[in-house]
Structure 1
């Protein structure tokens, strides 16, 4: 058993550590962001170039998996409101996904593909869906991004490692991420800070986030069902 585990870790190569970091990094970043908000949020709000600073920081930090997308969306809502905030958040997060793709593609060779080749069923599904081009791949990326259980950073690593074409990756990411980004940004627009200890902020935010979670659950269920229908034909042909 130990030898199998060692062999599996060796087979992962750079893919394993990058995937692990993409899962852990955003969580730690969210803690750091929240605990330090008193030192930077108000200063950023008063800056004449707050939009540019928000964009550059959001793209760089989210692109290297140091903060999660929901943090970017919440801050966009706080700073820019429910009308223009979602547009800024979508632009920033989509740009961050491009940075992630370019960055991870440089560090990942063909480790994931080598692993998939050892799993005929998984490799078949990959070839049928992600390795194809056009509408099929675009639909696949959109459905993956729509699912609220799929972490942004981890998905970036998987799609980059899977050599998904950049055109489908960017467009699919923008469309698939939009619903959750918009919903969280609107919820954030009801906050005056990231400190939820304030009574009014907390009550409004709880109501907003509850509606957001219900909406995301519905979107996630629909996307999972659609994704399952896409995958099943490929799996059955094995």
Structure 2
């Protein structure tokens, strides 16, 4: 039993666990740091923000949730945060795909190939992968790093992951930047990012659209 469990702990499995848990832990740290060092962050130069963007591009893959970064960048930079955030989103997706190449990707595919039914379902979904990726990325509640890992492991084309990720992440990123820009206190913003009734409505709408879109896309692929 224990040997079977150890065999199940492949590189992708371990990465999935890490990408699911570390953002939760790091969000608390990021909130604390931003609140305590608000004055120092507000005085950062343009080049320091560029350097911070490069760092966050790498860490967004598994540590810093892009939505949290969008709130913080939006609070300090306003609408000038749009470009850095899309760079971070694209960079995080690319970094995950590079990381997958270092993992035992072949072992994951071998597991899928041993299950004809699972392989058949996955192949059918991949025929409509752009739509599936778009609706998965549209949801504010699905972990950024974990979804990137799953799509990379599934064999989805990088161009579809990037395009679907861009289109799906755009509404939630813009919403988070707007929330940060409108906030008066960073502590209240990070502790309750959806304090506005309009923000809550939009988040609910995005979640509903994501669930309905994924259901429709997957059901159509399986027919």
TM-score, normalised by the number of residues in structure 1: 0.81
Q: Is the 8 A contact 1:11 1:111 kept in 2?
A: no
Identify if the C-alpha distance between structure 1 residues 56 and 226 changes in structure 2 by more than 3 Å, giving closer, same or farther.
same
Cα pair distance change 1:168/1:206, threshold 3 Å? closer
Structure 1 pair 16/89, CA: closer, same or farther in 2 (3 Å)? same
Gaps of 5+ in 2: none
- Distance in structure 2 (CA, Å) of the matches to 1:206 and 1:229: 28
Count how many residue pairs are aligned between Structure 1 and Structure 2: 222
Kindly state the Cα deviation for residue 206 of structure 1 after the two structures are TM-superposed.
Answer: 5.1
CA RMSD after TM alignment: 2.6
For residues 35 and 230 of structure 1, what CA distance do their matches in structure 2 show? 40
Alignment of 1:160 with 2:152, yes or no, is: yes
Distance 1:62 1:99, change over 3 A: same
Measured at CA, do residues 9 and 125 of structure 1 come closer, stay the same or move farther in structure 2, by a change above 3 Å? farther
Shift of 1:9: 5.0
- CA positional deviation for 1:169: 1.0
Rounded to whole Å, the distance in 1 between the matches of 2:212 and 2:194 is 28
Cα deviation digits, residues 155-183 of structure 1 (max 9, x gap): 11111211221111111111111111111
Task: Describe the SS at the equivalent of 1:59.
Answer: helix
Match of 1:53 in 2: 51
Partner of 2:74: 77
| TM-score, structure 2 normalization | 0.86
Within the candidate set 88, 94, 106, 2:90 is matched to: 94
Is 1:17 aligned to 2:4, yes or no?
no
